[in-house]
Amino acid sequence: MENRIIQITDTSMRDGEQTPGVRLGVQQKVEFARQLERLGVDVIEAGFPASSPGDFQAVQSVAQTVSACTVQALCRAMRGDIDTALLALRDAKKPCIHIFLASSPLHLQYKLKITEEEALAAVADTVAYAKKFCPCVQFSPEDATRSDFDFLCRMIETALSAGADVINIPDTVGYTTPEEFSDLIRRLHDQIPALSNAIVSVHCHDDLGLAVANSLAAVGAGAARVECTVNGLGERAGNAALEEIVMALHVRKDILHACTNVNTRELVRTSRMAASLTAVAVPPGKSIVGQNAFSHESGIHQHGVLSNRETYEIMRPADIGLDKNTLILGKLSGRHAFTQRLEQLGYALDDKGIDAAFHRFKEIADKKTAVTDEDIGAIVNEYLDGLHGKYWLDSFQIQSGNHMKSMALLSLRDGDEVFTEAAPGDGPINAAFNAIDRIAGRDDIVLESYSIRAVTEGTDALGEARVKISAAGTSFSGRGVSTDIIKASIKAYINAVNKCVAAQAEEG
Ligand code: KIV
Ligand code: ZN
3-state secondary structure 104-147: CHHHHHHHHCCCHHHHHHHHHHHHHHHHHHCCCEEEEEECHHHC
pLDDT band at 270 (very low <50, low <70, confident <90, very high): very high
Give yes or no: residues 19 and 82 share one domain.
Answer: yes
Compute the average pLDDT of residues 213-242.
97
pTM of the predicted model as reported, rounded to 2 decimal places = 0.86
Highest mean predicted confidence (pLDDT) among 21-35, 67-81, 321-335: 67-81
Q: Check whether 280 has a pLDDT greater than 90.
A: no
Instruction: Report CA(351)–ligand 2 centroid distance (Å).
Output: 37
pLDDT at residue number 439: 97
Is 286 inside any structural domain?
Answer: no
CB-CB contact of 126 with 99 (8 Å): yes
Give yes or no: residues 373 and 444 share one domain.
Answer: no
**Of ligand 1's atoms, which has the minimum distance to the CA of residue 100?**
6
User: Residues 6 or more apart from 50 whose CB is under 8 A from it?
Assistant: 56, 75, 76, 78, 80, 81, 84, 85
Q: Check whether 297 has a pLDDT greater than 80.
A: no
Residue among 205, 214, 225 to mutate when testing ligand 1 (max atoms within 8 A of CB): 205
Its domain, for residue 270, covers 4-278
pLDDT tens digits along 165-204: 999 999 999 999 999 999 999 999 999 999 999 999 999 9
Nearest residue (by CA) to ligand 1, atom 1, is: 172
pLDDT band at 34 (very low <50, low <70, confident <90, very high): very high
Give yes or no: residues 80 and 26 share one domain.
Answer: yes
pLDDT at residue number 508: 65
Instruction: Report CA(36)–ligand 2 centroid distance (Å).
Output: 19
pLDDT band at 455 (very low <50, low <70, confident <90, very high): confident
Q: Check whether 83 has a pLDDT greater than 60.
A: yes
Is 303 inside any structural domain?
Answer: yes
Return the axis-axis angle of helices 335-344 and 373-385, rounded to nearest 10°.
90
Give the residue from 88, 89, 80 showing the smallest Cα distance to 126.
80
Is 231 inside any structural domain?
Answer: yes
Give yes or no: residues 184 and 49 share one domain.
Answer: yes
Compute the average pLDDT of residues 276-287.
90
User: Residues 6 or more apart from 393 whose CB is under 8 A from it?
Assistant: 410, 411, 412, 413, 487, 490, 491, 494
Return the axis-axis angle of helices 79-88 and 53-65, rounded to nearest 10°.
40
> What percent of the chain has pLDDT above 90?
72
Give yes or no: residues 367 and 404 share one domain.
Answer: no
Chain centroid to CA 375? 19
Instruction: Report CA(143)–ligand 2 centroid distance (Å).
Output: 9
In whole angstroms, give the CA distance from residue 224 to residue 202: 8
In terms of DSSP H, where are the helices of 162-241? 178-191, 211-220
Is 329 inside any structural domain?
Answer: no
Is 287 inside any structural domain?
Answer: no
pLDDT at residue number 440: 96
Give yes or no: residues 213 and 155 share one domain.
Answer: yes
Q: Check whether 142 has a pLDDT greater than 70.
A: yes
Instruction: Report CA(11)–ligand 1 centroid distance (Å).
Output: 10
Give yes or no: residues 85 and 214 share one domain.
Answer: yes
Nearest residue (by CA) to ligand 1, atom 2, is: 172
pLDDT band at 9 (very low <50, low <70, confident <90, very high): very high
Give yes or no: residues 307 and 257 share one domain.
Answer: no
Return the axis-axis angle of helices 26-39 and 373-385, rounded to nearest 10°.
130
Could you say which ligand is closest to the alpha carbon of residue 234? 2
pLDDT at residue number 251: 97
| Pocket (CB within 6 angstroms of ligand 1) | 15, 100, 140, 142, 168, 170, 172, 203, 205
In whole angstroms, give the CA distance from residue 372 to residue 378: 10
In whole angstroms, give the CA distance from residue 326 to residue 338: 12
- According to DSSP, the residues that pair with 451 across neighbouring strands are 466
Give the residue from 34, 41, 83, 38 showing the smallest Cα distance to 63.
34
Is 285 inside any structural domain?
Answer: no
Compute the average pLDDT of residues 266-271.
96
Instruction: Report CA(203)–ligand 2 centroid distance (Å).
Output: 6
**Of ligand 1's atoms, which has the minimum distance to the CA of residue 74?**
6
- Residue 137 identity: V
Give yes or no: residues 206 and 310 share one domain.
Answer: no
CA distances from 225 to 37, 144, 192, 199, 267 (A): 17, 16, 18, 7, 18
In whole angstroms, give the CA distance from residue 280 to residue 77: 31
pLDDT at residue number 325: 56
pLDDT at residue number 326: 61
Strands 7-10 and 225-228: parallel
Q: Check whether 266 has a pLDDT greater than 60.
A: yes
What is the CATH classification number for the domain harbouring 74?
Answer: 3.20.20.70
Bigger pLDDT: 213 or 476? 213
Counting the structural domains of the chain, the total is 4
Give yes or no: residues 208 and 257 share one domain.
Answer: yes
For the chain, the maximum distance between any two Cα atoms, rounded to a whole number of angstroms, is: 77
Is 283 inside any structural domain?
Answer: no
Give yes or no: residues 218 and 241 share one domain.
Answer: yes
Give yes or no: residues 42 and 158 share one domain.
Answer: yes
In whole angstroms, give the CA distance from residue 364 to residue 164: 52
In whole angstroms, give the CA distance from residue 424 to residue 447: 16
pLDDT band at 327 (very low <50, low <70, confident <90, very high): low
pLDDT at residue number 375: 86
User: Residues 6 or more apart from 248 whose CB is under 8 A from it?
Assistant: 212, 216, 256
Is 478 inside any structural domain?
Answer: yes
Residue among 203, 228, 239 to mutate when testing ligand 1 (max atoms within 8 A of CB): 203
